[in-house]
Amino acid sequence: MAERANLEPSLRDFIVPQATVQPSCIIHSENTLANFELKSDMIHLLPKFFGNHEDDPHMHIKEFSEVCSIMKIGVMNDEEIRMRLFPFSLKDSAKAWFYSLPPNSITTWATLASRFLQKFFPAQRTRKIRKEIVEIQQLDGEPFHEYWERYKKVLNSCANHNIPEWLLMHCFYEGLLDLDRMIVDATSGGSLMNKTVEQARETFENVSNNSLHKYCGDSKRKIKKEILEIQQLDGEPFHEYWERYKKLLNSYPDHNIPEWHLMHTFYGGLLYLDRMIVDATSGGSLMDKTRKQARETFENVSDNSLQFDNRRSPPKKSEVYENNSLLMIS
């Protein structure tokens, strides 16, 4: 009886957690068991999905499938590779969801992808995006190309919206501001409503490209105007003015303004005192210098301005407190 009692579990055995290996929710084929060899570089290539609200599960499926399409593992086919690698693309709450699935409940990639989308792209989220699609509106001041790209981004975020193509084109058209709607109609030869679905989409793409080119052209003209009309601000140190000018030039590398004109424009925009300093540094007048010498002069004056500005900068609060404490002690 004593030996039999020793074979029975103690009370502690019932409450101490036991390490158990739960079967996977995926049933793998015999082919994958024999040919599967996972390498670390494969895992690093996979996109990661954490299950956060801002994560896009549709985009994750697309990116994951794209990465898997370039992988070759033995004689495994594409579906077997996806089934094997998908768990390694999940993190945090998404991985916890995967572990919660019933053991041996998934046999195909289509089932696994469907379960994944059902969990992280529920019906209420689909309804919300579908409502956003059909009620899309161009914002005041929003260029046509930005509105069109925003609409396409909303569509791509919900592949299962199930809204017919003709209605998508109609909703986008109805959301246009009056001026852009007139441009679309003019591009269509009178009215977009006379076009087919495919022709309507082509029209939107063409108007979008024209809008983008015009927007870029306007932006470049604005920057070029700023370059040619640059002015040092009251109280602006020389080095800040010089860095602001260089930053402006770098924002539009193909401005096609000759170097001599750039140096002359910057010099002409200087405040009176800093222009005197530049002339003194130049030995009398900057106008006697070459383009290269003028740029070097600006760099030297900028370095001196920066050093002077650093020397005269106010002490930190901690230093002021420490100095005041010393005065009180003395």
CA separation for the pair 153, 147 (Å, rounded):
10
Tell me what the mean pLDDT of segment 223-237 comes to: 91
Task: Specify the pLDDT at position 247.
Answer: 92
pLDDT above 50 (res 114): yes
Task: Specify the pLDDT at position 328.
Answer: 43
Q: Are residues 131 and 39 located together in one domain of the fold?
A: no
Is residue 177 in some structural domain? yes
Q: Are residues 255 and 291 located together in one domain of the fold?
A: yes
CA separation for the pair 276, 263 (Å, rounded):
16
Q: Are residues 26 and 47 located together in one domain of the fold?
A: yes
Q: Are residues 71 and 149 located together in one domain of the fold?
A: no
Task: Specify the pLDDT at position 224.
Answer: 86
Q: Are residues 109 and 188 located together in one domain of the fold?
A: no
Last residue of a domain, one of 121, 156, 189: 121
Contact 81, 71 (CB under 8 A): yes
Task: Specify the pLDDT at position 320.
Answer: 47
Query: Total domain count for the chain?
Result: 3
Secondary structure of 213-262 in HEC code, one letter for each residue: HHHHHHHHHHHHHHHHCCCCCCCCCHHHHHHHHHHHHHCCCCCCCCHHHH
Q: Are residues 281 and 246 located together in one domain of the fold?
A: yes
Q: Are residues 25 and 101 located together in one domain of the fold?
A: yes
Q: Are residues 28 and 111 located together in one domain of the fold?
A: yes
Task: Specify the pLDDT at position 35.
Answer: 62
CA separation for the pair 79, 27 (Å, rounded):
13
Task: Specify the pLDDT at position 251.
Answer: 85
Last residue of a domain, one of 167, 199, 222: 222
Measured in degrees and rounded to the nearest 5, phi and psi for residue 49 equal -125, 125
Task: Specify the pLDDT at position 21.
Answer: 63
Q: How many CB atoms lie within 10 A of CB 69?
A: 11
Is residue 60 in some structural domain? yes
Is residue 8 in some structural domain? no
Q: Are residues 131 and 70 located together in one domain of the fold?
A: no
Tell me what the mean pLDDT of segment 297-306 comes to: 91
User: Which pLDDT tens digit goes with each residue over 78-96?
Assistant: 898 899 899 999 999 999 9
pTM (whole model) above 0.75: no
pLDDT band at 329 (very low <50, low <70, confident <90, very high): very low
More confident residue, 27 or 39: 27
Task: Specify the pLDDT at position 38.
Answer: 73
Query: Which DSSP state fits 285?
Result: -
What is the overall mean pLDDT for the chain?
Answer: 86
pLDDT band at 327 (very low <50, low <70, confident <90, very high): very low
Q: Are residues 130 and 215 located together in one domain of the fold?
A: yes
Is residue 284 in some structural domain? yes
Q: Are residues 54 and 116 located together in one domain of the fold?
A: yes
Task: Specify the pLDDT at position 28.
Answer: 81
Q: Are residues 114 and 163 located together in one domain of the fold?
A: no
Is residue 251 in some structural domain? yes
- 323 class by beta-carbon count within 10 Å (0-12 exposed, 13-18 middle, 19+ buried): exposed
Is residue 7 in some structural domain? no
pLDDT band at 326 (very low <50, low <70, confident <90, very high): very low
Is residue 25 in some structural domain? yes
Q: Give the residue numbers spanning the domain of 292.
A: 230-311
Last residue of a domain, one of 121, 147, 168: 121
Name the H helices within the chain. Answer: 2-7, 11-15, 30-35, 40-45, 57-68, 78-85, 92-100, 109-120, 123-134, 144-156, 165-174, 178-187, 197-228, 238-250, 259-268, 272-281, 291-311, 317-329
Task: Specify the pLDDT at position 314.
Answer: 57
User: Which pLDDT tens digit goes with each residue over 122-179?
Assistant: 888 889 999 999 999 999 999 999 999 999 999 988 888 889 999 999 999 999 999 9
pLDDT above 70 (res 323): no
Contact 282, 289 (CB under 8 A): yes
Angle at 225 between CA 223 and CA 231, to 5 degrees: 100
Is residue 117 in some structural domain? yes
CA neighbor of 269 nearest in space, from 308, 303, 312, 240: 240
